[in-house]
């Protein structure tokens, strides 16, 4: 029998009665003038079309133009509003077919199409004066030294979160940007600072020599204690991290010290960073092209191409620049001419 | 400047900031006036067009589907609305122009069309206070941009 919860408006006592009962015995002091009866209302059950839309929404697909509509036979369908025209979305629509075929959902956040877009734009970046392509490495250098730290700090922040929520995605990203890369970047930075200091003009204050490092005056005898040792200590803290969240915090601290010590636009970016950047860029671009742009490695199906890509990435000795070379070759094999496509887009 | 349109677009491509004010008829590049209250030195760089609205519509579509960046998102004043990242297709993302470049191409084109007399309000939107493109509904040009209030009669 269904139970009904009854609440006394005076004393607040909760009584549970069966729905069929009509007589409720109440204390005399609270003879009801009105009784609040709480009957649990069942949540609206989603029809089939609404359930499909809800599933797509949860997957991050834009469902702004999708609606649930009811046909004359009483069945529910998913409808789409395009340019003022309303049409039923068939079951073999690309939005569903892609999910079924690859067992994946084309979620732009998950598949990092920004990375692919950035790779394409950087590959075709041109020189300001001559208008000739400068290449990916030069385009990366053009972003400046600060970019490498900002990018890595943000990447590690996301990784720290993914480590908890999405281990699979974390593993893909951590393959390229990891503790080893950050340690190398920090080591390179300390070397850079030492080089910069040796080239600075030695000034003198009451006979005591000092240098001006990025606007800060430091006595030469204080350089080890005020510049190098704090950086070395922070480097050790990065090296000792075991968890992604700890690595993120340690890297943030090191970057803070970088900003306080010296940070110039034209400082040489770390080789480890450039390599990881190319590797991650190439990997996610290849993955996107294979999954959503009907591209593949020669004589391989989509599934085989994807497996081959994962196999390549699993090789520990495969450096990022090599995978980038594979990407360039992949674009040629699949007939993707970025400049031609861009000219086509502008029409 | 020998060719204001081309040189300004190139400067923005190279990272310069810009600001266009239709009503005051000004163009600033990196905080310096290139066109000040309708006065400039050199050539504007665009010919007179018989049907300027067609080209403006094309430039608007390019701007609408252009690739946003942190730099373009932080721009304070925009005359036209572009699509946000999640509304762009993969093709837009891969092959689209940078948004700030598409923006200066569109806005400076309109400003120059006002200067060289190609864009005359009474010819395409007489008795209206705004004009909406019949093909691209998002493209709206206000009368006060073309004929500032002080000149309205």
In three-state secondary structure terms, B25 is: coil
Contacting residues for B103 by C-beta, under 8 A, at least 6 apart: B63, B66, B72, B75, B78, B80, B82
Nearest to B86 among A62, A338, A346 (CB): A62
The residues pairing with B132 across neighbouring beta strands, listed in sequence order, are B140
Q: Which of helix, strand or coil describes residue A335? A: coil
Q: Which of B94, B98, B100, B105 to mutate to test the interface with A (most CBs of A within 10 A)?
A: B94
The answer, yes or no, to whether residue A142 has pLDDT greater than 60, is yes
* pLDDT surpasses 80 at A254: yes
For A100, half-sphere exposure in the C-beta direction (CA atoms, 13 angstrom radius) is 7
Q: pLDDT digit string (tens) for B33-62?
A: 999 998 999 899 898 888 889 999 999 999
Q: Is A120 on the interface with B (CB under 8 A)?
A: yes
Say yes or no for a CB contact (<8 Å) between A117 and B67.
yes
Give me chain A's average pLDDT, please.
83
Q: Greater confidence, A175 or A13?
A: A175
Q: Write the pLDDT tens digit of every residue in B4-43.
A: 999 999 899 888 899 999 999 999 999 999 999 989 998 9
A32 pLDDT above the threshold of 60: no
Q: Does the CB of B110 have a partner CB in chain A at under 8 Å?
A: no
pLDDT of residue A45: 60
Q: What are phi and psi of B26, to 5 degrees?
A: -125, 155
Closest approach of A108 to chain B, Cα-based (Å): 8
For A159-179, what is the mean pLDDT?
Answer: 93
| Cβ-based contacts of A120 with chain B (< 8 Å) | 94-95
Let me know: does B25 contact B19? Beta carbons within 8 Å: no
- The pLDDT of A131-141, averaged and rounded, is 91
User: What are the DSSP calls for A89-143, one per residue?
Assistant: PPTTSHHHHHHHHHSS---TTTTTHHHHHHHHHHHT-B-TTT--B--HHHHHHHT
Task: Give the residue from A190, A172, A115 showing the smallest Cα distance to A306.
Answer: A172
pLDDT at A24: 46
Partners of A342 on chain B (C-beta within 8 Å) are 95
Q: What is the pTM of this model?
A: 0.73
| Cβ separation A341–B91 shorter than 8 A | yes
According to DSSP, the residues that pair with B27 across neighbouring strands are: B20, B35
**Beta-carbon neighbour count of residue A83 at 10 Å?**
5
Give the mean model confidence (pLDDT) for residues B113-125.
88
Smallest CA–CA distance, residue A248 to chain B, in Å, is 23
In chain B, the residue whose alpha carbon lies closest to the alpha carbon of A285 is: B94
pLDDT (0 to 100) of residue A20: 47
Q: How far apart are the first and last CA of chain B?
A: 34
pLDDT at A102: 52
* Closest C-alpha to A285, from A171, A131, A120: A120
Both tokens of A228, joined, read: 């190098």
pLDDT in tens, A56-109: 766 556 677 788 777 777 777 788 877 777 777 777 676 666 566 555 555 555
Per-residue pLDDT, A179: 96
Say what the pLDDT of residue A30 is: 45
Of A204 and A85, the one with more pLDDT: A204
Residue A26 confidence (pLDDT): 47
Provide the shortest C-alpha distance from residue A257 to chain B (in Å): 25
Distance between B96 CA and the closest CA of chain A, angstroms:
7
- Whether the pLDDT of residue A41 is over 90: the answer is no
Q: Which residue of B has its CA nearest to A64?
A: B87
Range ranked top by mean pLDDT from A124-133, B15-24, B117-126:
B15-24
Indicate whether B153 pLDDT > 50.
no
Which of these, A116, A167, A97, A173, lies nearest to A290 by C-alpha position?
A116
C-beta atoms surrounding A334 within 10 Å: 15
Share of chain A above pLDDT 90, in %: 56
CA atoms within 13 A on the CB side of A27: 11
Q: What contacts A243, CB < 8 A, 6 or more positions away?
A: A163
Set of chain B residues whose Cβ sits within 8 Å of the Cβ of A117: 67, 93-94
- Can you tell me the mean pLDDT for A172-177? 95
State residue B150's pLDDT score.
64
For residue B60, which phi and psi values (nearest 5 degrees)? -65, -40
């Amino acid at each position: 029998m269904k139970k009904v919860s009854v609440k006394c408006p005076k004393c607040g006592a909760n009584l549970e009665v069966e729905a069929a009962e009509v007589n409720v015995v109440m204390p005399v002091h609270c003879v009801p003038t009105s009784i609040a009866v709480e009957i649990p209302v069942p949540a609206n059950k989603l029809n089939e079309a609404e359930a499909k839309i809800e599933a797509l929404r949860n997957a991050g697909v834009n469902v702004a133009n999708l609606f649930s509509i009811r046909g004359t036979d009483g069945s529910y369908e998913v409808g789409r509003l395009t340019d003022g025209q309303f049409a039923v979305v068939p079951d073999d629509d690309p939005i569903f077919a892609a999910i079924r075929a690859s067992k994946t959902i084309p979620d732009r956040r998950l598949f990092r199409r920004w990375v692919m877009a950035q790779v394409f734009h950087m590959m075709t970046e041109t020189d300001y004066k001559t208008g000739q392509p400068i290449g990916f490495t030069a385009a990366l250098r053009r972003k400046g030294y600060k970019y490498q730290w900002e990018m890595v700090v943000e990447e590690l922040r996301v990784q720290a979160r993914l480590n908890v929520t999405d281990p699979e995605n974390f593993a893909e990203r951590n393959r390229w940007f990891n503790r080893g890369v950050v340690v190398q970047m920090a080591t390179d930075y300390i070397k850079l600072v030492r080089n910069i200091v040796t080239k600075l003009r030695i000034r003198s204050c009451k006979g005591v020599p000092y240098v001006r490092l990025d606007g800060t005056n430091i006595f030469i005898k204080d350089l080890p204690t005020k510049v190098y040792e704090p950086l070395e200590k922070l480097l050790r803290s990065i090296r000792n991290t075991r968890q992604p969240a700890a690595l993120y915090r340690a890297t943030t601290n090191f970057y803070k010290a970088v900003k306080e010590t010296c940070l110039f636009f034209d400082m040489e970016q770390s080789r480890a960073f450039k390599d990881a950047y190319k590797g991650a860029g190439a990997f996610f671009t290849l993955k996107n092209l294979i999954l959503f742009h009907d591209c593949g490695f020669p004589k391989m199906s989509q599934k085989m191409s994807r497996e081959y890509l994962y196999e390549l990435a699993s090789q520990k000795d495969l450096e990022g620049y090599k995978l980038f070379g594979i990407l360039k070759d992949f674009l040629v094999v699949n007939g993707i001419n970025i400049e031609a496509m861009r000219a086509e887009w502008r029409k | 400047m020998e060719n204001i349109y081309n040189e300004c677009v190139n400067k923005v491509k190279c990272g310069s900031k810009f600001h266009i004010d239709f009503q005051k008829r000004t163009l600033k590049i990196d905080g310096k006036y290139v066109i000040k209250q309708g006065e400039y030195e050199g050539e504007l760089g665009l010919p007179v067009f018989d049907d300027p609205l067609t080209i403006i519509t094309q430039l608007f579509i390019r701007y609408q589907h252009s690739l946003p960046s942190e730099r373009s998102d932080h721009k304070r004043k925009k005359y036209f609305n572009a699509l946000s990242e999640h509304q762009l297709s993969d093709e837009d993302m891969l092959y689209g122009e940078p948004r700030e470049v598409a923006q200066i191409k569109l806005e400076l084109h309109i400003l120059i069309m006002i200067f060289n007399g190609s864009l005359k309000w009474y010819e395409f939107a007489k008795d209206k206070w705004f004009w909406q493109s019949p093909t691209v509904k998002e493209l709206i040009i206000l009368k006060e941009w073309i004929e500032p209030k002080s000149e309205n009669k």
